[in-house]
Chains A and B, each alone.
Chain A
Amino acid sequence: MRLSNCPVNRNLVIAPGYFLMEIETPEIAAEAQPGQFVMIKTREGREPLLRRPLSLHRVSSTSIELLYQVIGKGTQALSQTRPGEFLDLLGPLGKPFPLPASSSGIILLVAGGIGIAPLLALAEQISERLKVKGQRSKANLKIHLLYGAKTKAHLVRISDFQKMGIEVSTITDDGSGGRKGLATDLLRKFLVSPHGNISAAYACGPRPMLKTVAQLTRNKTVPVYLSLEEMMACGMGACLGCSVRARASGIKYLRVCQDGPVFLAEDIILD
């Protein structure tokens, strides 16, 4: 984990309200793993006061990419950052996505809206690992992305997933890209159709979506990982501000920043 001031390479609008930012940061990139996040001071000074947690969208050897949606003051400030400007980064933080233990079956990725962000980094890591192991040709491990967004224009990065041979199913709130509905509708349908065995599932999106994913997969014996979003102050496990209820007896809360942000669905209770 590092604290460093890093130059922005790119900061582009890629969909309405969605920005893709690339930051040159060899030290953080060297340590970073999919599922982790960085805390960014989005603007100097006291407004906004706190850093903002953003998950890693892509990790390369010397830089990281962040995909974010402009929601409040922090992301607004971030969206105004120009290439060449420096941002103060703390990271990488949190626990990464555990990689699938099995090298066969189907790996499900479930994304809702901007929740697509950490799943690209994960998909690239899984694909890379399979290539290294030379197992790709056997094609006994398939990745399937179930992706819901507001409109067709908000479905981003699809070709990047497809390039890796990942099958992508889309759905939108307004029916402009794929059927009309939510990512969880795709999941519901997927679970009752014959696809072969699911070996792991990874989901990121709005809290109600994650709750439904947890419910729909409750009877599955495979690991289901949820990547949570939460307001944070320190991002390092010290302030205890970003709690989520734990299912285990004996502990009441877990810290999203330090114990997560990726959790096994069975370990937490989403209110």
Chain B
Amino acid sequence: MNLKTKIGRLVLQNPILVASGCFGYGEEYAPLLDLSRLGGVVTKGISLKPRPGNSPPRLAETPAGLLNSIGLENVGVDRFIEEKLPFLRKQKACVLVNIFGESLGEYRKLAEILDDIDGIAGLEVNISCPNVEKGGLEFGVKPDSTRKVIETVRGKTSLPVLAKLSPNVTDIVEIARAAMQGGADGLTLINTLKGMAIDVKTRCPKLARGIGGLSGPAIRPVAVRMVYEVSRKLAAPVIGAGGIDSTEAALEFFIAGAGAVQIGTGFLINPRLPLTIIPELVGYLDNQGLKGIESLVGNIPADKPKRRKK
């Protein structure tokens, strides 16, 4: 079975990746799974300088969901290259580096620095983090600034560039179009939805920062819809993400139009999930009489429900 998939110029041996922020830099998970068998891993968001992250509490569990406000705590690009990347290289992981800047200049610098480094398959540009004061979501909610960030990164790297977009927008297609016009090879859909949870005993927010980003199965229908709309209206290569916790959930994304998927919250709960999905995906493709993953992508027979044969 051919599981090879392409997201623009990015070629992946299979379509199952681990999402940014859920994988750290891989050291923790290497004892539990062979990282080289994954389609790819997306690193924790990396910034130019180290960031301490937000005050705790940073997590709250919600119905079928997880609300987080980590605030892009990371070691910074220099330490990432010196201390973290060599390990991932040694594990033969396909590494996508998620980059985050507070200004266009920071995105430019990050792209420049990482362009020269061995062992990086592509960049995922984070313009969609809801948990920081400056940058992040600020760029990703407007078409103009979305295009500018992607153009800036594109201009400084020869690596494939993915734009990770926010669902916290009125029209995802408009933002997706801007990212593609800026020169993205593909799009990661979606980052977390802005959310809030309140402790009724104290009548205070559960997160120190009040508002956070919601992930997990609770957001999956929103993510599937956005993947569907974007791939239908733009024919842009898409990596789907949002609440994948089973093979069936991953299949929804492929059928909606995603060429690959990322597992985030589902991976935190079950680190073996990606490697469970791969053989089950093969079984499904066999059953459906399909020769490979690429023939499943966007393969919706009708845009309305159809009765099952039995």
Contact B272 A50 (CB under 8 A): no
Q: Does A240 contact B (CB under 8 A)?
A: yes
Question: Which among A63-71, A168-176, A230-238 touches the partner chain?
Answer: A230-238
Instruction: Give the chain B neighbours of A251 by CB distance below 8 A.
Output: 52
Q: Which residues of B contact A258 (CB under 8 A)?
A: 28
User: Looking at the complex, which one of A238, A242, A253 makes contact with B24 (CB distance below 8 Å)?
Assistant: A238
Cβ-based interface call for B65 (8 A) = yes
A46 lies within 8 A of chain B by Cβ: yes
Q: How far is the CA of A244 from the CA of B52 in the complex (A)?
A: 11
> Which of the residues B24, B44, B56, B269 comes within 8 Å of A243, measured between beta carbons?
B56
In contact, B22 and A234 (Cβ under 8 angstroms): yes
| Interchain CB contact under 8 A, A49 and B28 | no
Closest A residue to B68 by CB, please name it: A241
Contacting residue for B70 out of A73, A232, A240, CB 8 A: A240
By the criterion CB–CB under 8 Å, are B64 and A1 in contact?
no
Task: Please report which residues of chain A, range 1-23, place their CB below 8 angstroms from some CB of chain B when the two chains form the complex.
Answer: 1, 3
Q: How far is the CA of A139 from the CA of B75 in the complex (A)?
A: 48
Whether the Cβ atoms of B269 and A50 lie closer than 8 Å is: yes
A260 to chain B, nearest CB (A): 13
B83 at interface, CB cutoff 8 A: no
Let me know if A49 and B269 touch, CB within 8 A. Answer: yes
Q: With the chains together, A23 CA to B176 CA distance in Å?
A: 50
Establish whether residues B268 and A1, one from each chain, have CB atoms under 8 Å apart when the complex forms: no
How long is the Cα–Cα vector from A240 to B268 in the complex, in angstroms? 11
Asked whether B63 is an interface residue with its Cβ less than 8 Å from the other chain, the reply is: yes
Q: Is A150 an interface residue (CB 8 A)?
A: no
Top 5 closest A-B pairs, CB basis?
A252-B52, A238-B24, A241-B59, A46-B64, A234-B268
Q: Which of A47, A230, A244 contacts B64 (CB 8 A)?
A: A47
B265 on interface, CB distance cutoff 8 Å = yes
Given A3-B32, A242-B56, A243-B58, check contact A50 B217 (CB 8 Å): no
Interface string of A86-100 (1 = CB under 8 A from B): 001010000000000
Give CA–CA (A7, B87) in the complex, Å: 35
Cβ of A26 < 8 Å from any Cβ of B? no
In the complex, chain A residues whose CB is within 8 Å of the CB of B270:
3, 41, 88
Contact B23 A238 (CB under 8 A): yes
Establish whether residues B53 and A243, one from each chain, have CB atoms under 8 Å apart when the complex forms: yes
Nearest CB of chain B from residue A184's CB, rounded to whole Å: 22
* Cross-chain contact A50 with B58 (CB below 8 angstroms): no
Give, as a whole number of angstroms, the nearest-CB distance from B155 to chain A: 31
The answer to whether B292 has its CB under 8 Å from any CB of chain A is no
> Can you name 7 extra interface pairs (CB under 8 A) apart from A49-B216, A233-B68, A238-B28?
A47-B64, A88-B270, A231-B60, A238-B24, A241-B59, A242-B56, A242-B58
Chain B residue at smallest Cβ distance from A52: B61
B106 within 8 A of A: no
Cβ contacts B28-47/A at 8 Å (1 or 0 each)? 11011000000000001000
